[in-house]
């Protein structure tokens, strides 16, 4: 990075639309009002430091795919939503992920997005249900998961379709989260 920085603090109201994969350096996004506080701190402090802690899993009301899919319009998906965006996940400790100068940053954890992050949530829930109800079939487990899903986002609001900003429908979020 310019000036020898090894990370960035970005102020934006559009953080939910940023993808961590698009950035090659460690970064954190904060609101513009918090950005003003950081800027004030930097101006008043001789040797500023920062400590970033992961405190909340961002489930967010954002959806990335519109269903039914054009390839198979007769199949209504998703059945259910699971957290899969910006998940703090274990990472192979000797495999670099983020370019840092002429080398790669090695870490035990990475923030990753995708179905490979959401499917373990669903499989874990299914495994717990199967262990508690050994006589249940796969369709019974699926039904239990779908009928207990929340149909509101993590702020108790309606799911929002990111493509047009309107309220989502079951074709967007299935049975819920």
* Residues 6+ away with beta carbon under 8 Å from 80: 122, 145, 146, 149, 174, 175, 176, 177
Average pLDDT over residues 146-164: 79
**% of the chain surpassing 90 pLDDT:** 12
**% of the chain surpassing 70 pLDDT:** 72
Instruction: Check pLDDT > 50 for residue 88.
Output: yes
Report how far residue 66's alpha carbon sits from residue 161's, in angstroms, rounded to the nearest whole number.
8
Q: What is the mean pLDDT of the chain?
A: 77
pLDDT attached to residue 64: 43
Q: Could you give the 3-state DSSP secondary structure of residue 12?
A: coil
- Write out pLDDT tens, residues 47-83: 888 766 654 444 344 444 444 555 666 666 678 888 8
Report how far residue 149's alpha carbon sits from residue 88's, in angstroms, rounded to the nearest whole number.
23
- Write out pLDDT tens, residues 6-23: 677 888 887 766 666 666
What is the Rg, in whole angstroms, of the alpha carbon atoms belonging to the chain?
Answer: 20
Cross-strand bridge partners of residue 27:
8
């Amino acid at each position: 990075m310019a000036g020898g920085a090894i990370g960035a603090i970005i102020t934006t109201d559009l953080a939910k639309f940023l993808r961590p994969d698009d950035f090659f350096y460690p970064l954190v996004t904060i609101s513009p009002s918090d950005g003003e506080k950081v800027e004030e701190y930097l101006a008043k402090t001789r040797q500023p430091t920062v400590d970033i802690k992961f405190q909340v899993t961002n489930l967010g009301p954002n959806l990335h795919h519109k269903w039914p899919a054009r390839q198979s319009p007769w199949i209504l998906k998703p059945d259910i939503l699971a957290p899969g965006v910006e998940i703090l996940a274990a990472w192979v400790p000797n495999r670099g992920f983020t370019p840092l100068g002429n080398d790669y940053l090695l870490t035990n954890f990475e923030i990753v997005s995708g179905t490979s992050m959401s499917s373990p949530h669903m499989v874990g829930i299914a495994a717990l249900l199967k262990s508690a109800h050994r006589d249940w079939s796969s369709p019974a487990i699926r039904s239990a998961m779908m009928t207990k899903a929340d149909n509101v986002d993590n702020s108790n609001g309606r799911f929002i379709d990111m493509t047009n900003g309107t309220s989502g429908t079951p074709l967007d979020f299935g049975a819920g989260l």
